[in-house]
Amino acid sequence: MRSGKSVRGRNAAALPDRSVAQAFLQDPGYAVVPLSAHVTATLTTALKAFHGQLNSWGQHPPQGVAGFKSFPLKNRLEYRPGHPSFGDIGVLQQMAVEVVQEYDEVAQDILSEIAESALSAPSTLFRPALDVAPLERGNIAASRLEAIQYPALNASARLAAQSPSCQARVDRGLLTCIFADNPQGLQVQQASGTWDDVTLPAGHVIMLPGYTLERATCGLVKATRHRVVIKSSAASCARNALVYKLRSPGSAILDLYPQLSVRHANSIPARFRGPVAVGELMHFFDATHDSINDIARANTLESASSSRPNKRIKTEVAAPSPAGASAPPHNQYSQQEQVNIRTATLQSNCGSDVH
């Protein structure tokens, strides 16, 4: 288990220690982080409220709650601040606002610690990749909160509960933060392709690096492939989770190579050098990753994701100039021109993961 000091939030005093940040440099990289008593209480109260509301709705939420979806093995309610549809979740609205505030502070603390302790960079390294806070009126947040419920299975279904309840995937954003009422169920994939169980103690949150963070760190932090597995022994119990997905706005430009190359130049492949627009990066992600939220394919993707080799998508930039050829200096083109040049060359090196 990865551990550290309590994360700083309201009524909490300390940042996570260096071991938490270093855990993201491993493969698979993730951290199981203890929360302050205040943040734990806020998330626990919210988790119970969302669970009760999802139970009362069943598969038929009130009209106007666009963020609710029912899948074969789970129900999900999404809240996204500022969104015309996903920004209104009825009686849970104020609680969702509070949870997002707490989660966002915790996640950004972890990003700051990754920058300082793991990457030897300024704590503000990832600031250009984040939403401007506070969110201006009329703007839509890139990040979102999801309340996810994996209902208890009946006796016949429990006999078949040996395959993943949520197919393996790499998340698209910076960090995925998971707070759940069941310590079991999450697995992460090793580079060898084997799956490890991750235990979530009470008062802790699991943090998983995503595709955008891998690209932002020039490959130094790898996106972690994971899945939810409700094994037969635990299938009689529901699993409820509050998941916060910290994401970058599409207009953000990822251009951290100049700062990261000071300490890590020899560890950064050429394909990660140069800027890329998050919007273009997400178009590439969508083109190379199957969606986990396609209800019609939710069952059929299971077998494919379980047997597919552990491949990693890489975002390419323009190839280096041949030896002896004159290359334009880094600042000859405007930042947007560099983005246009490099994003035009986005391509996959080795297939795609299921997402």
pLDDT 10s digits, 236-271 = 567 899 999 999 999 999 999 999 999 999 999 999
Contact status, residue 145 vs residue 280, Cβ threshold 8 Å: no
Is residue 216 within 8 Å of 174, Cβ to Cβ? yes
Cis peptide upstream of residue 309 (ω within 30 degrees of 0): no
Tell me: pLDDT of 131 over 90: yes
Q: How far is CA 210 from the centre of its chain?
A: 5
Retrieve residue 175's tokens.
């960090």
Q: With bands split at pLDDT 50, 70 and 90, how would you rate the model's confidence at 156?
A: low
Angstrom distance (rounded) from CA 89 to CA 65: 6
Phi-psi region of 203 (alpha: psi -120 to 50; beta: other; left: phi over 0): left
Per the DSSP assignment, residues forming a β-bridge with 31 are 207
- For the segment 15-44, the average pLDDT, to the nearest whole number, is 89
Rounded CA-CA distance 277/337 in Å is: 11
pLDDT at 283: 95
**The two structure tokens encoding residue 314:** 């890489």
Looking at residue 115, its pLDDT comes to: 97
Q: CA–CA separation, 138 vs 161, rounded Å?
A: 44
Averaged pLDDT, 32-40: 95
pLDDT at 70: 84
Report the SS3 class of residue 52: helix
Backbone dihedral region for residue 274 (phi beyond 0: left; psi -120 to 50: alpha; all else: beta): left
What pTM was computed for the model? 0.78
Whether 202 has a pLDDT exceeding 60, the answer reads yes
Q: What is the DSSP letter of 118?
A: I
Question: Which of 5-19, 144-158, 199-213 tops mean pLDDT?
Answer: 199-213
Angstrom distance (rounded) from CA 240 to CA 74: 10
| Residues in a beta bridge with 76 | 69, 148
Q: How confident is the model at residue 234 (pLDDT cuts 50, 70, 90)?
A: low
